[in-house]
Amino acid sequence: MRLSDLAERLGLEIEGDGDVQVTGAAPLEAAGARDLAFAAGAKWADALAASKAGALVLPQGMDAGGRPVLRSTRPRRDFARAATLLHPAPPIAPGVHPSAAVEPDAEIHPEATVGARAVVGSGARVGARSVLHAGAVLYPRVEIGQNCEIHAGCVLREDTRIGDRVVLHPGVLIGGDGFGFELGDDGAWEKVPQVGRVVIEDDVEIGAGTTVDRAALGVTRIARGVKIDNLVQVGHNCDIGEDSLIVAQSGLGGSTRLGRRVILMARTGIGGHVSMGDGSFAGVRSGIVRDVAAGQRVFGSPATTEQIWHRGVAALTRLPAALKRLRRLEKRVDRLDPPDEPA
């Protein structure tokens, strides 16, 4: 694309030669003369100076070294948008692959795509321009909206409902049984039937290897705009609010409630029947066992408020010096008052 055309598409101000052609997006250290790269601030200055990128996305005031530049108040975001335009997904022809297994009463929109060895169960529905990649499996009565992409190896259990523009990356399992058992009279574990379903609303993206359990009763719900990373476990009857973000290897116990725009950093664990309010935040490896108020930031395990956590971390860094001082004091006390001889 011409840089001027890219600037127009992105709504950005351009400085320098707008007729420069860019063919791809690349990091500063690997970019060539026909690549677009970006820098977000002063700490990138050395890499920027050494870069061979032909065009740049930079914040206001950052020196481009004479190269054409797109000025942005959010360089990382606008570079990502540029990369999307420069690297469009290849078109996928609609239709059902001959090796796919589709039940006669399933409904596949004529503009949808069903890949090799995919399975579409009885009563399932696939909307316009949605794609089931190779080996995806839809159990009976699964509903998928428009413009979705279900990657290879995904499994959607019965009665799962997927909205529009949902992306499930390889190996995602939606609607598996929740972990529900009760102790029987003989001491053996008896399974609690999991007869609910999963509802995923529009514009959700779920990373590879993530599992979302069906509800024991009712619905496990993932609301509009939620983004979930790889290897996340969402337990039965969870309710995840709009535009929340869950980072890799986190686990949500059954009946967890997240409000809107909640952020869980990597490896956060939440006990069952816990709520987090709108806009709350949990740091890496947080262990959450009680409710978190709206807007509150928690860290640590068991999780506590950000202020208390920082004080605790600061205290730990002073602990070795405090122990040395304690030992010196103990020696002084022993000299003043020697301990009793053993009997």
Across 1-22, b (16+ Cβ under 10 Å) vs e yields bebeebbeebebebeeebebeb
* Alpha-carbon span 281 to 125, nearest angstrom: 37
Q: What phi, psi does 226 have (nearest 5°)?
A: -70, 140
Choosing from 169, 236, 273, 310, the catalytic residue is 236
Strand 161-162 to 197-200 pairing: parallel
In the residue annotation, 310 being an active-site residue is answered as: no
Listed in sequence order, the residues at least 6 apart from 165 whose beta carbon sits closer than 8 Å to its beta carbon are 145, 146, 147, 148, 202, 203
User: Which amino acid is located at 39 in the chain?
Assistant: A
Q: What phi, psi does 35 have (nearest 5°)?
A: -105, 150
Give the chain's largest Cα–Cα span: 95
C-alpha angle with apex 233: 229 to 235, nearest 5 degrees? 135
Mapping DSSP to helix (H, G, I), strand (E, B) and coil, where does residue 327 land?
helix
Taking the alpha carbons at both ends of the chain, their separation in whole angstroms is 91
DSSP string, 142-175: -EE-SS-EE-TT-EE-TT-EE-SS-EE-TT-EEE
Q: Where are the alpha helices (DSSP H) in 184-304?
A: none
Q: What phi, psi does 190 have (nearest 5°)?
A: -105, 135
Query: Where do the DSSP E strands lie in 181-266?
Result: 181-183, 189-191, 197-200, 205-206, 211-213, 219-222, 227-228, 233-234, 239-240, 245-246, 251-252, 257-258, 263-264
Residues marked as catalytic? 236
